[in-house]
Structure 1
Amino acid sequence: MGNKIGAGIAALVFAIPLLIGAQAIGIVTQLFSSGSSAGSLTCTLDGAPNGAVPGVTAEQLGNASTIVAVGKQLHVPEPGWVVAIAAALQESGLRNLHYGDRDSLGLFQQRPSMGWGTPEQITTPAYAATKFFEHLQATPGWEQMSVTDAAQAVQRSGFPHAYAKHEDTARAIVAAMSGVRCEPPPAMPGTGTCDTIHAASPIAAKAINYACGQRGLPYVSGGGPEDDAPGFDCSGLTQASYAAAGIALPRTSRGQYAPGPRVPDGQPLLPGDLVFYATAGRVHHVGLYLGGGNMIDAPDVGQTIQIRPYRHPGDDYDGATRPAGPVGV
């Protein structure tokens, strides 16, 4: 991929579970419910027989469904989905590649060195799609451009006319995706990983996505969103994660615990909740709950930001808060 525009804030991750059969895709994506914070929507393709598009593999359709899901959530009109899918077909064959020209990665071959995000973020399809749409929406008059010109405005490729050959396929894929039928699931348990993230609200999803993008960075005492240090301490990570979602948290774990809102004892945790640890009533650590019994946190000096169980025998767990609110779900 050619020269890129710099990236903005960390982006939203959606749950994209795929049940891929021999020749068809069943459940293809999940979208946030605009009217409920209790969970996400399970969506099934109705627009083509068995969710199939001639010449398009299940892997490609799964990635296309992610792009469409992100476009829907960001209120990008259907022509923008066509642009994004055509761009991904050209850049990666609509595959989530972990290699490319120089440091290009993912569906759109975005480059960490050009400010698009960390390698882990760029190879998260929903993040990559969100960054593409952010740049597309920031392009004046993109709606009046041809598909190839709009794609080029975002991608800045050395082959500016290459996207046109994928337009018909992209339109066929979008036609299949436009018949998505959605139903709410019974629960929002979370997966406990950064590969497929369930979240009860866009705010929680943005916070989780940011935190997931910091995996592998070192624990840095006093490290936070306003520091130049290449890492975070525990509360610096959670503060930066929610700052990426538009919520300001206090700097310390004790300060973050105090304002709540608290998750009542016995109520299930939701992805995005902050989980706190205390000794003799004094809060000393905080992590970001992912679901599945796991959290992501900056554990201690000499360790890196990582996913690990939020409870273990003999721990000092002291409760949780839900900055994304509300707690009565």
Structure 2
Amino acid sequence: MGSRLGAGVAALVLAIPLLLAAGIAGVVSALTGSSATGSLTCTPDGTPTGAVPGFTAEQLGNAAVIVGVGKQMRVPEQGWVVAIAAAIQESGLRNLDYGDRDSLGLFQQRPSMGWGTPEQITTPTYAATQFYEHLLTIPNWQAMSINAAAQAVQRSGFPHAYGPHETDARRIVAAVAGIRCEPVPALDGTGDCNNIQAPTSAALTAINYACGQRGLPYIWGGNGPDSGDRGFDCSGLTKAAYNAAGITLPRTAHAQFHTGTRIPDGSPLLPGDLVFYGTPASITHVALYLGNGKMINAPIFGSPVQINNYRHPNDTYVGATRPST
């Protein structure tokens, strides 16, 4: 089952800004988790500076994700600067798996304070979305200083720490906002949430979202924390994942199977495809294909969102579809 996703996690835009020239391979790695061979190709769009002294490709790649999410959410450019300044102060623009108490990720958000699960917070698109969602609730934030706006979101014990990063934040935004990157088709992908490859931006976004939900419980009819549920059922997860990519799916697994673009039997699957089980007359399960024979899914009562093999002896696999806009 599934129903509408509330204020879901925004995801990577179809054109995600990255860094030029020598830094591209490193930025691609930071963005997608892939190896330096990458799964994106980047082209100039406008006149970006392409580099910022003192910042590495890894840092600028994370900045590109933050700016890309801001664009997707239609946050004004001032908000991108606020977010980058906050991330410079909190993590040095690095996706940290440690911090003060239970703080994690680019913005050092805390699970205990309601920012999300550790898996979500250390997913850069989720972390950036949460930052922007909080920023947009602040009255007249655009009239505030960069420091005041960042502090209103972060509520730091060091309330004046963000302003000194404004100049660097503006330089970084100028450097990454004018690069467009498109995914290069991957034959099969990795099957690994820590090394995501996908053939389209929509598939990359959907996988990235689903990977951020690992560990949440299976709940019949569950649509996820963004809609007030503690977890997901199978089609709630796939619907939410593609909703994050701007693609609306029906609520139930059965409806998703019968409305999607069917992949011919025997054709290779690509990361992001939906795989279905049961019979054509009664679809009982749906999952998101990751590549390398793996899928991510909300399996059944007592089993959280997790990665499994998509085929096994005696399974009831009936086919796959490829969501598109």
TM-score by length of 2: 0.75
Aligned positions of 1:107-146 closer than 5 A: 107-146=106-145
1:95 Cα deviation from its structure 2 partner: 1.4
The 1:291/1:141 distance shift into structure 2, 3 A limit, reads farther
> Does 2:246 correspond to 1:249?
no
Letter in 2 for 1:61: L
Letter in 1 for 2:310: Y
Aligned positions of 1:1-329 closer than 5 A: 8-13=7-12, 24-27=22-25, 28-29=27-28, 42-43=41-42, 47-48=48-49, 51-180=50-179, 182=180, 184=182, 186-187=184-185, 189=187, 190-195=189-194, 196=196, 198=198, 200=200, 202=202, 207-220=206-219, 222=220, 224-225=222-223, 230-241=230-241, 247=248, 249-251=250-252, 253-278=253-278, 282-312=282-312, 315-322=315-322, 324-325=323-324
Consecutive unaligned residues in structure 2, runs of 5 or more = 1-5, 30-38
Letter in 2 for 1:212: C
Contact kept in structure 2, 1:86 and 1:170, CA below 8 Å: yes
Contact kept in structure 2, 1:294 and 1:310, CA below 8 Å: yes
Following the alignment from structure 2 to structure 1, what is the Cα–Cα distance between the partners of residues 231 and 109?
23
1:44 Cα deviation from its structure 2 partner: 5.3
1:97 Cα deviation from its structure 2 partner: 1.4
1:285-314, Cα deviation, whole Å (9 max, x unpaired)? 221223444310133455432113323466
Following the alignment from structure 2 to structure 1, what is the Cα–Cα distance between the partners of residues 71 and 122?
20
Letter in 2 for 1:25: G
The 1:157/1:256 distance shift into structure 2, 3 A limit, reads same
Letter in 2 for 1:133: Y
Letter in 2 for 1:76: V
Following the alignment from structure 1 to structure 2, what is the Cα–Cα distance between the partners of residues 13 and 99?
24
Contact kept in structure 2, 1:224 and 1:232, CA below 8 Å: yes
1:48-103, Cα deviation, whole Å (9 max, x unpaired)? 4xx54222233322222222222333333433222111100111121111122332
Describe the SS at the equivalent of 1:90.
helix
Following the alignment from structure 2 to structure 1, what is the Cα–Cα distance between the partners of residues 237 and 24?
37
Describe the SS at the equivalent of 1:43.
strand
Contact kept in structure 1, 2:81 and 2:166, CA below 8 Å: yes
Describe the SS at the equivalent of 2:23.
coil
TM-score by length of 1: 0.74
Contact kept in structure 1, 2:58 and 2:94, CA below 8 Å: yes
Match in the other structure for 1:34: none
Structure with the higher fraction of residues in helix conformation: 2
Describe the SS at the equivalent of 2:41.
strand
Consecutive unaligned residues in structure 1, runs of 5 or more = 1-6, 31-39
Following the alignment from structure 1 to structure 2, what is the Cα–Cα distance between the partners of residues 255 and 8?
23
Contact kept in structure 1, 2:273 and 2:320, CA below 8 Å: yes
* Aligned length, in residue pairs: 303
The 1:191/1:235 distance shift into structure 2, 3 A limit, reads same
Letter in 1 for 2:275: V
1:114 Cα deviation from its structure 2 partner: 2.8
1:229-267, Cα deviation, whole Å (9 max, x unpaired)? 85444344335545666736334x334423334334455
Following the alignment from structure 2 to structure 1, what is the Cα–Cα distance between the partners of residues 43 and 211?
27
Q: Which has the higher relative contact order, 1 or 2, with Cα contacts under 8 A spaced 6 or more apart?
A: 2
Following the alignment from structure 1 to structure 2, what is the Cα–Cα distance between the partners of residues 194 and 16?
21
Letter in 2 for 1:274: L
Following the alignment from structure 2 to structure 1, what is the Cα–Cα distance between the partners of residues 183 and 42?
10
Letter in 2 for 1:276: F
RMSD of aligned Cα (Å): 3.9
The 1:294/1:26 distance shift into structure 2, 3 A limit, reads same
Describe the SS at the equivalent of 2:290.
strand
Following the alignment from structure 1 to structure 2, what is the Cα–Cα distance between the partners of residues 296 and 101?
31
Describe the SS at the equivalent of 1:289.
strand
